[in-house]
Amino acid sequence: MNTSALPAPRYKEVTRKKSEGATFTPKDLSDFVAKNIVIAAQNEVMSKKKLRILDPAVGEGELLLSLIGELHKSKKHELEVFGFDQDKESLSIAKSRIEKKFPNINLKLENIDFLDFVISETGQKTLWCASDNSTPTSYDLIIANPPYVRTQIMGADKARKLSQNFNLTGRVDLYYAFILGISKVLDPKGTTGIIVSNRFMTTKSGGSVRKAILNQFNLNHIYDLGDTKLFDVAVLPSVLIASGTETPKSLEPKFTSIYETTAESVQKLESPIEAINKEGIVSVNDGRVFEVQQGILDVNKNLSSVWRIHTKSNGTWLSTVRKNSIGSFRDIGKIRVGVKTCADKVFIRSDWNNETSGNIPEVLCPLITHHIARRYKSLSIENQLQILYPHKMLNGKRKAIDLEKVPNTKKYLAKYRQELESRKYVIEAGREWYEIWVPQDPSAWKKTKLIFRDISAEPTFWVDESGGVVNGDCYWLTCNNGVNLDMLWLAAAIGNSTFIEEYYDHMFKNKLYAGRRRFITQYVEKFPLIDPDSNIGQDIIRLVKEVYSSIDSQETVGIQEEIDGMVWRAFGLSGKKVYR
């Protein structure tokens, strides 16, 4: 984990923004979570006269107001209400709001960090191991909307402390630690409702927390709220309803998914929140249309595997795909992200001749970016970007070039030496000051490559034979030794198909706003392949090469549509979109 992060004030600003509870957590969502906590709570807890409830990141109190209000409907509980937050101003607002609505409430709000509290309560034991016999302070019901803060922006000390106490590594989020902290202070018979980003369900970095949730809670219901835009910020939320480890374990936790769709609505409702408990295609008052699925959590024996919804229809669909697959994209070769210079203004230009007065650096290469992306074959543009690429392979190892052998390159880089040396992480890694931070394999650029955009509403895969260097806004792969090059052409057809959009949504469902998807290694490497030697496989490969060779011809539009239909048939499917 990189703990040389940005200074702590940024973390403070993020926390303050998060803690604006009335704005950040909409009331209808707060009420929804509170209601489902009470529904899921065990009789043994709900029969208590006195209940201890907690919000570990209370903000301005919206979630606590909802939970207190839901519990007051029965008029049979004496409540002890607890809340933590690091923002004094927000706590003051929360206290005022709660006491105004519930003047006789037993309210205890503390200006402390919940994670520090948990660490002190558990004796600094790692929160990633299963529950032990320790007896820290516990709460019957916990409602939470943890801050969405990457560890990189907390400051070095905070990030290092979390790394040590929560075993956080890689690209993780602060809310991972909050989830684990909640598991330690939730009564073994208690219930919690947690609002979190849905990213953890499908990302590689979320594997550890997915496993921990299944080990440390009894998971009742997952609500993937997708692109409902319930928040003012660009977060796709989900809600976890879970109980303590001494409650009856659900072997098949319920899973609800709601995402915007272009399908025709069959019923109209007030809002996305109202639609969550329905199923099928529904519209809401603002004109948006959503597809709502009701199913169960599909988890195999590997507890850290991707979380996705299983319904009868998508289970049958995926089973058909598997029967007609011979492998996946990872069998072709390793998928890599493009180069990352961490000094693009120095290394990447389109005006090298003017910039160097004709003394052009000797190691320039064409740079392939998403700006020239097009299905099957990239666009040809004037003044294409070029990258100064100061790396080579020597005896099978990547090396920085010798600047003494490339005088124009040496002269140009010398002008920017101070700027390049400011990338201290390059120097500390034992690298030369003029190296690219992520250069990838210099020997691979000359090979035929399959390249694809990272973020896109529709998949965009193309074959490249130019020998260019791929930029960090795209991913790429080349064939392993012994793999027929035709596999790249076949993969281009599958990658560009409407079938793969459907497959992606069945398997990963990790959409951003405006229907955009992330096409990154951990997803694309799982894309299925058909037999390239089958009759339909051979026909697809032939047609893809035809499209590539005459990409600007109007005739290729029809050929691409033909390829799309063939891909569906190759996987044993009709090609008609299934609205799940």
Higher pLDDT, 159 or 572: 572
| Percent over 70 (pLDDT), the chain | 88
Residue 169 or residue 216, greater confidence? 216
* Residue 57, both tokens: 């990141």
- Which is more confident, 73 or 168? 73
Predicted pLDDT at 474: 97
The answer to whether 162 and 110 are in contact (CB under 8 A) is: no
Domain range summary for the chain, segments of one domain joined by +: 8-244, 334-478
CATH topology of domain 8-244: Rossmann fold (3.40.50)
pLDDT digits (tens, 9 = 90+) for 259-304: 988 888 888 999 999 999 999 999 999 999 999 999 999 876 677 7
Q: What is the pLDDT of residue 123?
A: 60
* Helices marked H in 397-446: 407-415, 417-421, 424-428
Give pTM, 2 decimals: 0.79
Residue 12 has pLDDT above 60, yes or no: no
| pLDDT the model gives residue 300 | 65
DSSP helix/strand/coil, 147: coil
- Asked if 1 and 159 touch (Cβ cutoff 8 Å), the reply is yes
Listed residue (235, 175, 237) closest to 206, CA to CA: 175
Pick from 9-13, 337-341, 446-450, 568-572: least confident: 9-13
Give the model's pLDDT for residue 82: 96
Average pLDDT, stretch 356-379?
A: 96
Closest CA to 36 of 249, 217, 311, 273: 273
**pLDDT score at 169:** 62
* Rounded CA separation 177/179 (Å): 5
